[in-house]
Copies of this chain bind each other. A is one copy, B any other.
Amino acid sequence: MAGRADVPEVIWARPERTGRGPRPAYTRADIAAAAVRIADERGLDAVSMRHVAAELGCGTMSLYNYLPRKEDLYELMVDAVGAEHELWEPSGDWRADMLRVAHQTRTLMLRHPWLPALMSPVYGFSPNALRYLEHCLACLDSFEGTYGTKFELVAMLNGVVTTYVGNELATAERARALPWSEEREQSVRIAYLGAQIATGAYPRMAAAFMEDSGPIDLEAVFQRALERVLDGFDPTR
């Protein structure tokens, strides 16, 4: 059976091995590890079926014995790095624990900068996603609320972390990839933005840029965002 683009079955539901036929040369973990290695070193765009196969030392089409679609390779990658989540004994203070979870997720994303881009299509419950979710629920044992609310909390926190770190990484990547200096790019943007503001059509934007806010501390912005999300769920505040 070769790859099937028309089979939307969840990959975690299909057994890794059915018993019949030659022993597979690789495991899903091998494949995931190879893909993660490539993504870490050469970026997500370098993760093609050909490159992953080359990294493993097998033919391109052999991969389709393990994965029906490339999309599933992404699923494997996300699950693989999910194993790096450190799961501790809940402290009893759900706020502190959830903050720690969020910061850990951010660290994970900074270590694997391609991760935010693959987080949107979270739809299968991969093994490590289950472990992670169970851990979050454990941390929320001290939270007064239904499981429904707890899920909503975890979902929003994850969403905010993904969005923020995704922006953070995209900004850094853009600065890194510039063929000319960052100052040159900044000046072009400032010039354009200044011209727009100078039309007088955006008085509040103009005022905002007059406001002296000092240097932007991304870490602090992130922390504030987390606190606000938790505030929104906190029944005691």
A interface residues, Cβ below 8 angstroms from B: 6-10, 12-13, 117, 120-121, 123, 125, 127, 130-131, 133-134, 137-138, 141, 146-148, 150-152, 156, 159-160, 162-164, 166-167, 170-171, 174, 177-179, 185, 188-189, 191-193, 196, 201-205, 207-208, 211, 213, 221, 224-225, 227-233
Find chain B residues with CB under 8 A from A203 CB.
134
Q: Is the CB of B134 within 8 A of A205?
A: yes
User: How far apart sit A188 and B11, CA to CA, in the bound complex (Å)?
Assistant: 11
A192 to chain B, nearest CB (A): 4
Q: Is the CB of A7 within 8 A of B221?
A: no
User: How far apart sit A228 and B228, CA to CA, in the bound complex (Å)?
Assistant: 9
Find chain B residues with CB under 8 A from A179 CB.
6-8
27 A–B pairs (Cβ distance < 8 Å), ordered by A: A7-B179, A8-B179, A10-B188, A10-B189, A13-B191, A13-B192, A120-B120, A120-B170, A123-B170, A125-B192, A130-B196, A130-B201, A130-B205, A134-B201, A137-B204, A137-B205, A146-B211, A147-B207, A147-B211, A148-B213, A152-B221, A159-B159, A159-B160, A162-B163, A229-B229, A230-B232, A231-B231
CB nearest to A180 among chain B residues: B8
A233 to chain B, nearest CB (A): 6
Given contacts A9-B188, A225-B152, contact A125 B213 (CB under 8 A): no
CB nearest to A193 among chain B residues: B125
A132 to chain B, nearest CB (A): 11
Pick the 8 closest A-B CB pairs, nearest first: A228-B232, A147-B208, A137-B204, A159-B163, A232-B232, A13-B192, A231-B232, A134-B202
- Among A8, A192, A207, A232, the most chain B Cβ lie within 10 Å of the Cβ of A232
